[in-house]
Structure 1
Amino acid sequence: MSKLITSPSNPFIKRINSLHEKKFRVREGLFLAEGMRVVTEAVEAGVAPAYLIHGPDMGDHPVLKRLAEATEAAGGEVIETSADVLRKLSRKDNPQSVLGVFTEIGKSLADLDRNTSYVWIVCESLKDPGNLGTILRTADAVGAGGVILIDNSCDPYSVEAVRASMGALFTVPLVQAKWEEFQPWLRSGPGFLVGASLNTEHDYQAIDYPAPTFLFMGNEQSGLPEPYEQECDALVKIPMRGKADSLNVAIATAVIVYEVLNQTRRK
């Protein structure tokens, strides 16, 4: 049964609203996911919200009923609120009618089994949450083992990153680690590290990608640092026939990782 909270000044509403800021997400260990579709994908992936917040007149919606049952079965709480409060929580004039509050779901390197997939995506100092969300969607699409964020990448639990992932945050294992942790972990078992770089003549389609391949993508502006490139087993680049010298990092990731997929399919 839903608990009714309609006051914007309610302490619970203020607490949830604070999750738009990283320091409060870190303190609470919680993050926001907007929309019935995204929350449904989370529940179908076995991740139920700690709080399921919905607008008025939604009580009889069949999908919401299933989400509420899953939330309560996992020990979560269902909250009904007003349209005004939903606008406050979403910070949009036309908010979604459903909002989920989830516990952070990141894994550690020790949790990963590199042999469960032919390809993994590694990102270094990725700054744009939209790019991260798109990369997570791409990882889901190709069946990647997971996404590993190296060094000072953007917060994967920001509202922008969660929204851009379109639910992939809940289906793709995600790890945040320092290079000093990742490099020895990678070399402790099988793994072919391929860096995307302008400092090579190797076309991305001209090399073989053995399983498991770890596709290493650099920062949007500066690319991979030279010491990291030197640790790669191969460097590849995408040919550019126009005036631009590079692609958006999320698009470049998709182009290369689909080549890895296509080679695996042909084998």
Structure 2
Amino acid sequence: MSVRQIASLTNPTVKAVRALHMKKEREATGLFLAEGLKIVIEALDQGRAPKMLMFGKEADHPLLDRAVRETLAARGEVIEVTREILEKIARRENPQTVIAVFEQRTTALDALDPKSASAWVALEQVRDPGNLGTVIRTADAAGCGGVILIGETVDPFSVEAVRATMGSMFALPIVRTSREAFLAWRKTWPGSVVGTLLSATHGYRDAPYKAPTLIVMGTEQSGLTPEVAAACDVNVKIPMRGRADSLNLAVATGVMIYAVTDQA
């Protein structure tokens, strides 16, 4: 296989790749978009080669040569495109000069090994893709074992979520599960299951965490559902000392992650 070129905005491949902005298309194909050479290199470092790699004529970086080489070696498609095509696919001006298409991969709950890491993160009904991507990136940075998505959450393979992970989505197992399946599986958890509640008596710094610790976070608007909150054996609160009465979900989760991992 070799590098081919596309210059037409109406090319079927361009249309198919651009369509991956839509959830229904991602679900139908099992594919997703990732923008930027950094994310592609992070994927390659984790043994994940793109199914398709597109790059602009102006792209010039030593790591691009590696991306092209390894994509072709994995029998992926490599295409040189115009800036106009990159803008159309990215749906914005000043797009990244490299865009890739990957296969979606998630992990089953039963395939996780809780004792392989001191901390794990579960998010119930998270709605904002930027928050989700930032939590995945933070969990990776702190050495967490993985991220579990409970119930009707935002698609982790949306362009916005993938962008916010900065490549960390390739480094961690990501699980998608129902509330019922999570509650059944949680009964086998060997350490602490921690939730954040405004009514909690323990502060997040001084709670009795037992590794491995599963940090369970809900939405900014309503927090955890009663069923999931009841499944937590440790409840903590992050104090609000100013006028704001809540923290951004990604910030609050980051605070919890480092409180737990610092004790490990």
- Please state which band the TM-score falls in when normalised by the shorter chain: over 0.9
Residues 89-168 of structure 1: pairs in structure 2 closer than 5 A: 89-168=89-168
Distance 1:228 1:131 in 2: 20
| 1:223 to 2:220 alignment | no
Ranges in structure 2 where 5+ consecutive residues have no aligned partner: none
Displacement of 1:227 in angstroms is: 2.1
The answer for the alignment partner of 2:86 in structure 1 is 86
Q: TM-score, normalised by structure 1?
A: 0.95
Displacement of 1:76 in angstroms is: 0.7
1:127·1:220 contact (CA, 8 Å) conserved in 2?
no
Please list the CA deviations of residues 47-85 of structure 1 after superposition, one character each: whole Å capped at 9, or x if unmatched: 110000011144x64211100111112121111111111
Please list the CA deviations of residues 81-119 of structure 1 after superposition, one character each: whole Å capped at 9, or x if unmatched: 111111100111111110010000211112211111011
Query: Which runs of 4 or more aligned residues in structure 1 lie more than 2 Å from their structure 2 counterparts after TM superposition?
Result: none
Task: Point out the more displaced range, 80-89 or 201-210.
Answer: 201-210
Displacement of 1:32 in angstroms is: 0.5
Task: Point out the more displaced range, 13-22 or 224-233.
Answer: 224-233
Ranges in structure 1 where 5+ consecutive residues have no aligned partner: none
The answer for the alignment partner of 1:67 in structure 2 is 67
The answer for the alignment partner of 1:26 in structure 2 is 27
SS in 1 for 2:222: coil
Distance 2:183 2:163 in 1: 30
1:125·1:149 contact (CA, 8 Å) conserved in 2?
yes
Please list the CA deviations of residues 154-204 of structure 1 after superposition, one character each: whole Å capped at 9, or x if unmatched: 000111001111111111110010111112112124132100111212111
Task: Point out the more displaced range, 27-36 or 189-198.
Answer: 189-198
2:120·2:145 contact (CA, 8 Å) conserved in 1?
yes
The answer for the alignment partner of 2:175 in structure 1 is 175
Displacement of 1:231 in angstroms is: 1.3
| 1:49 to 2:50 alignment | yes
The answer for the alignment partner of 1:13 in structure 2 is 14
Matched pairs, number? 263
SS in 2 for 1:12: helix
SS in 2 for 1:70: helix
2:32·2:102 contact (CA, 8 Å) conserved in 1?
yes
Distance 1:189 1:243, change over 3 A: closer
Displacement of 1:210 in angstroms is: 1.0
1:129·1:155 contact (CA, 8 Å) conserved in 2?
yes
2:183·2:228 contact (CA, 8 Å) conserved in 1?
no
Distance 2:3 2:142 in 1: 38
Q: Percent of aligned positions with the same letter in both sequences?
A: 48
